[in-house]
Amino acid sequence: MLRLTIPLLIIALSFASCTSDIVEKESKSLPLSTGSWRMTMTTNDTFIPLRFNIDSTLTLTIINSEEQIEVKDVRIEGDSIRIKMPRFDSEFIGLINSPTNITGHWYNYLREDYSIPFDASFIGKATPIQQPNGDELKYEVWFSPNTDDEYKALGLFHVIDGEIHGTFLTETGDYRYLQGVATPSSFNLTCFDGSHLFGFTGEFKNDSIVNGVFLSGKHWSEPWIGVKNDTFELADPDSLTYLLPGYSTITTELVDFNGEISTLDAEQLENQVTIIQIFGSWCPNCYDEHLFYKELYADYHDRGLNIIPIAFERTNDFAKNVAAVQNQFEEIGIQYPAYIGGKASKTVASEKFPMLNKIISFPTSIYLDKKGKVRKIHTGFYGPGTGVYYESYTRETRIFLEQLLDE
């Protein structure tokens, strides 16, 4: 059995402003000490510590390196506390044992019967938000090395003054904003977004990383290794999914939120530039892509850009799937409609698009010109946590869309 203790990570939480119908604040003293707290998430024999801040307004903000996730739905009733995460269907339910200690469980409702116990204690002055700096270290990475499940990744890290920030890019997306603690010999990184609890540990050995372990909540663990390589790059995301011979466009069924079925075909796609977005509301890279596509829609819809999001969800309950997508789109502020594609399975998604060789990632985006012809298929999404990779992709996408819109 794997036994691992991940050293202290820097994920800050600062309890954010809530309306009176969410948190009933008393004029007397707060039930919790304000400042910095430490939370330990326990997964079997593995301990993943997190940090959060509580302020005088009982507001909460999750900090993943440069990212801040505001949490408004905080309820305190007597000695009980519930913290409802905004992006995904999960929450912390705890007991306030004293102004300096909370115990309870984190419940992830996107998975069946899934919870992780936590213990949180007050430690003092509020933790400042750290920003990545220092020289970037670039590693060629192998997850599950020397097995049939081996896959490549690109590790990007900044290490300075005992802090480490970074992420991993794979051919299907990235692990978003990671932050943790580093010594000359070892390090840890973590990210928590309300659905995904990621923990990475490793040991520095000359120009290599050895004895790496990747944990995803309590359900996944795998080894990884890396070696410094400033020239390593992954496969081109535009080359992995493609049209099969004999096809030039996309034809598929669309199911709207009322269960009504329609057919999407080349005729409907004419005279506009279209992005068909294959996604899931449970997917963090999809969330990041939504933020970018919201900007694209605002900037280019008047010139003829249309975005058609098709969701593949984790439950078999149509109403629950609709609610999950609606809640996420409302939280982000997306105005264009989405559709339900089916179960959150790459096999199911591939069957929905038989004109493609395969769907290997959520998200996958299909770009079509004004004649309804497929011009590009992009696998995965490198979000803002990837730095220059995100900047390059968003810049090139805008240039490409403007070319299609001008045709």
pLDDT tens-digit readout, 178-187: 998 999 999 9
29 pLDDT band, cuts 50/70/90, is: low
Task: For residues 337 and 321, give the distance between their C-alpha atoms in angstroms, rounded to a whole number.
Answer: 14
**Cβ–Cβ < 8 Å for 240, 379:** yes
Average pLDDT, the chain: 89
What is the mean pLDDT of the segment spanning 21-41?
66
**Cβ–Cβ < 8 Å for 384, 178:** no
Task: For residues 179 and 132, give the distance between their C-alpha atoms in angstroms, rounded to a whole number.
Answer: 9
Task: For residues 194 and 69, give the distance between their C-alpha atoms in angstroms, rounded to a whole number.
Answer: 9
pLDDT (0 to 100) of residue 153: 98
What is the mean pLDDT of the segment spanning 318-347?
96
Give the relative orientation of helices 284-300 and 388-406 as an angle to the nearest 10 degrees. Answer: 40
Stronger pLDDT, 79 or 265, i.e. the higher one = 79
φ/ψ (deg, to 5) at 299: -85, -30
**Cβ–Cβ < 8 Å for 311, 340:** yes
Sequence-ordered list of residues with C-beta below 8 angstroms from that of 25, at least 6 positions apart, any chain = 57, 58
Return the closest-CA partner of residue 186 out of 9, 349, 372: 9
Task: For residues 148 and 372, give the distance between their C-alpha atoms in angstroms, rounded to a whole number.
Answer: 39
Burial 277-292 (b: 16+ CB within 10 A, else e): bbbbbbbbbbbbbbeb
**Cβ–Cβ < 8 Å for 58, 25:** yes
pLDDT (0 to 100) of residue 124: 87
Q: pLDDT tens for residues 145-182? A: 999 999 999 999 998 888 899 999 999 999 999 998 99
What is the mean pLDDT of the segment spanning 231-239?
96
What is the mean pLDDT of the segment spanning 288-296?
98
Token pair, residue 127, equals 């933790």
Task: Check whether 19 has a pLDDT greater than 70.
Answer: no
What is the mean pLDDT of the segment spanning 316-324?
95
- Provide the H-helix boundaries in 281-387: 284-300, 318-332, 346-352
pLDDT (0 to 100) of residue 203: 97
φ/ψ (deg, to 5) at 290: -55, -45
Token pair, residue 36, equals 């910095």
Q: pLDDT tens for residues 59-112? A: 888 888 888 888 889 899 999 999 999 889 999 999 999 999 999 999 999 888
What is the mean pLDDT of the segment spanning 384-400?
96
**Cβ–Cβ < 8 Å for 316, 343:** yes
Domains of the chain: 4-23+31-124 (2.40.128), 136-228 (2.40.128.120), 252-386+393-406 (3.40.30.10)
Length of the chain: 407
Token pair, residue 334, equals 């997306």
Cis peptide before 363 (omega within 30 of 0): yes
Residue holding tokens 């790459």?
Answer: 346
Residue holding tokens 């004029």?
Answer: 27
Burial 373-389 (b: 16+ CB within 10 A, else e): ebebbbbbbbbbbbbeb
- Distance of alpha carbon 233 from the chain centroid: 22
Task: For residues 49 and 403, give the distance between their C-alpha atoms in angstroms, rounded to a whole number.
Answer: 48
pLDDT (0 to 100) of residue 135: 79
21 pLDDT band, cuts 50/70/90, is: very low
Residue holding tokens 């995301």?
Answer: 237
Choice among 138-152, 253-267, 336-350 with the minimum mean pLDDT:
253-267
Taking the alpha carbons of 179, 181, 186, 188 in that order, is the dihedral positive or negative?
negative
128 pLDDT band, cuts 50/70/90, is: low
12 pLDDT band, cuts 50/70/90, is: very low
Three-class SS state of 114: coil
What are the angstrom distances between the C-alpha of 375 and each of 275, 278, 288? 10, 16, 23
Task: For residues 104 and 327, give the distance between their C-alpha atoms in angstroms, rounded to a whole number.
Answer: 26
pLDDT (0 to 100) of residue 161: 84
pLDDT (0 to 100) of residue 35: 84
**Cβ–Cβ < 8 Å for 252, 353:** yes
What is the mean pLDDT of the segment spanning 324-330?
95
pLDDT above 90 coverage of the chain, percent: 73
